[in-house]
Amino acid sequence: MSIQLEDKHIVVVGAGPVGCLMSCLLKKKGAKEVTLYEKRPDMRATDIDAGRSINLVLTERGLAALTLLRERERVIKELTVPVLGRMMHDLEGNLTYQPYGKDDSEHNHSVSRSELNKFLLDEAEEVGVKIVFGHALQDVDLENKTLHFLKGNDDIKVQADVIVGADGAPSPVRKALMELDGYEGRVDMLEDGYKEIPFAAKANGEYAMAEHALHIWPRGNHMLMGLANLDGSFTGTIYMPMTGDLSFEQLQTKDDVVAFFETHYPDAIELVPDLGNTFLENPTGTLGTVRCGPWFYKDDVVLIGDAAHAIVPFFGQGLNCGFEDCTTLNSLLDECDSLEQAFERYHELRKENADAIADMALENYIEMSEKVGDPAFLLKKKVEHKLEQELDTIYRSRYATVMYSHVPYKIAQDAGLIQQDILDTLLHDISSPDELDINKAKALIEQKLTPFYQKHNVNIDKAL
């Protein structure tokens, strides 16, 4: 069974990566007309992302969605840098490396969000999506499926058959839905914000740090991270509280900034030319979690990506989750009898998983900012790495399951609790991974974890 879209004018609001991808898929499914409305100017012609380019990691869930456009390999080759593990920088400048996967074939892909977005805008135009820039959605009349945009000072009314809200965390489409009876939504802001700090390439164009690692400077209630770009530079991002002690609010002058870096990130100073000015000039972004539902209204409106479930960035999954929404919805358009059924099923399948990755992303902030430098945590990671190497048919870490498989996030989250319990038992009487009793580990896994996977029809050996 497949839903007929040939007579439908679909309006997608928000030409971010998720809106562009979903527009392509809807047009390829045969929709009569797909129009993508974006409030900003065309980013391919204007530098609208200065200081907020966002460098992110694509992983299996995101890459799989690009396969639907037959562009997975091209994106990997032309736009990404492989990231094989984490490199921790301590206060003395000592480095500790942790690989991500059981071997280097399992890795993340660092990509500039703007470059990926530009690529997808081109793709959308190529498949026949009409893109209209400079139109900011104000509100939606849900009964009449009419959208009200502002273009400069002009009011524009647009009629649609179907509305897709891909308008990111602030989503006016979501706001319209949440005014209906039976709909609920909330946005929980993190006390911390973020700011980008570009790390320059060396004078000869080479990378100034190991390029195939995510660099982390964990410092408790703030942290710095760096991900490689294609041109030898890195995009650094500092996360810290917006107000209070050691906060963005406290760093008002160039001297404040340099003194702060000298104390907390001394080995990063030489990487950032003109650190004080760069820091003060770049905008400070806020971070939050959107939880809402239902994500649809009849067969008229559906939410995707950050509009439905913005999350904090500490698991590197916001966009990957949004792309997975597109994969799911795309399949349901083939499997269901009506759009309303497809939207309802989509919400059922995705909502608990979006909530699960939202929780795991919040938890990961503590892991990244505090625990990655802690010897007990590092030992746990080493033991887990050994389990993944020696017992990989029955044990894969929560991290690997989230990043390199399609196992639903909720199952990865619940399995993670069982895994913590197993690791705590194994770590009880050892101080080095060499002391790990692998037979005891195997028995524990078969007793506690394997039945959980069996119950949920997950073959972890084949899932990654």
- Nearer Cβ to ligand FAD (56/383): 56
Least distance in Å: CB of 313 to ligand FAD?
A: 3
- Nearer Cβ to ligand FAD (172/373): 172
- Does residue 260 interact with ligand FAD by CB under 6 A? no
Listed in order, strand segments (DSSP E) in 100-233 are 108-112, 130-132, 136-141, 146-151, 154-159, 162-165, 184-199, 213-218, 223-228
- Does residue 39 interact with ligand FAD by CB under 6 A? yes
Can you tell me whether residue 52 is helix, strand or coil? coil
Is the Cβ–Cβ distance between 367 and 384 less than 8 Å?
no
Q: What string of H, E and C letters represents the secondary structure of 401-424?
A: HHHHCCCCHHHHHHHHHHHHHHHH
- Nearer Cβ to ligand FAD (291/448): 291
- Does residue 218 interact with ligand FAD by CB under 6 A? no
Least distance in Å: CB of 312 to ligand FAD?
A: 8
What CA–CA distance (Å, rounded) separates 293 from 296?
Answer: 8
Find the part of the chain contacting ligand FAD (CB under 6 A) among 15-23, 243-251, 411-419, 432-440.
15-23
- Nearer Cβ to ligand FAD (353/444): 353
- Give the count of residues interacting with ligand FAD (CB under 6 A): 34
User: Which of 26, 31, 37, 133 contacts ligand FAD by CB under 6 A?
Assistant: 37
- Does residue 54 interact with ligand FAD by CB under 6 A? yes
Least distance in Å: CB of 256 to ligand FAD?
A: 22
Residue whose structure tokens are 């929980």: 188
Q: Could you tell me where the DSSP H helices lie in 144-250?
A: 172-178
- Nearer Cβ to ligand FAD (98/117): 117
- Does residue 40 interact with ligand FAD by CB under 6 A? yes
- Nearer Cβ to ligand FAD (18/275): 18
What CA–CA distance (Å, rounded) separates 433 from 437?
Answer: 9
What percent of the chain is helix, strand and coil (3-state, nearest 5)? 45, 25, 35
- CB atoms < 10 A from the CB of 414, how many? 15
What CA–CA distance (Å, rounded) separates 274 from 259?
Answer: 14
Closest-approach residue to ligand FAD (CB) = 16
Contacts (CB under 6 A) with ligand FAD, residues 193-212: 194
What CA–CA distance (Å, rounded) separates 359 from 289?
Answer: 9
What CA–CA distance (Å, rounded) separates 134 from 113?
Answer: 20
- Does residue 57 interact with ligand FAD by CB under 6 A? yes
- Does residue 16 interact with ligand FAD by CB under 6 A? yes
- Does residue 107 interact with ligand FAD by CB under 6 A? no
Contacts (CB under 6 A) with ligand FAD, residues 162-191: 166-168, 170, 172
User: Which of 11, 15, 360, 449 contacts ligand FAD by CB under 6 A?
Assistant: 15
Least distance in Å: CB of 40 to ligand FAD?
A: 5
Contacts (CB under 6 A) with ligand FAD, residues 304-343: 305-306, 313, 316-320, 322
User: Which of 132, 136, 142, 427 contacts ligand FAD by CB under 6 A?
Assistant: 136
What lies within 8 Å, CB to CB, of 56 at 6+ separation is 110, 111, 113, 227, 313, 316, 318, 319
Distance of CA 270 to the CA centre of its chain: 29
What CA–CA distance (Å, rounded) separates 55 from 344?
Answer: 33
What CA–CA distance (Å, rounded) separates 306 from 291?
Answer: 10
- Does residue 101 interact with ligand FAD by CB under 6 A? no
Q: Which parts of this chain interact with ligand FAD (CB under 6 A)?
A: 13-19, 37-40, 54, 56-57, 113, 136-137, 166-168, 170, 172, 194, 237, 285, 305-306, 313, 316-320, 322
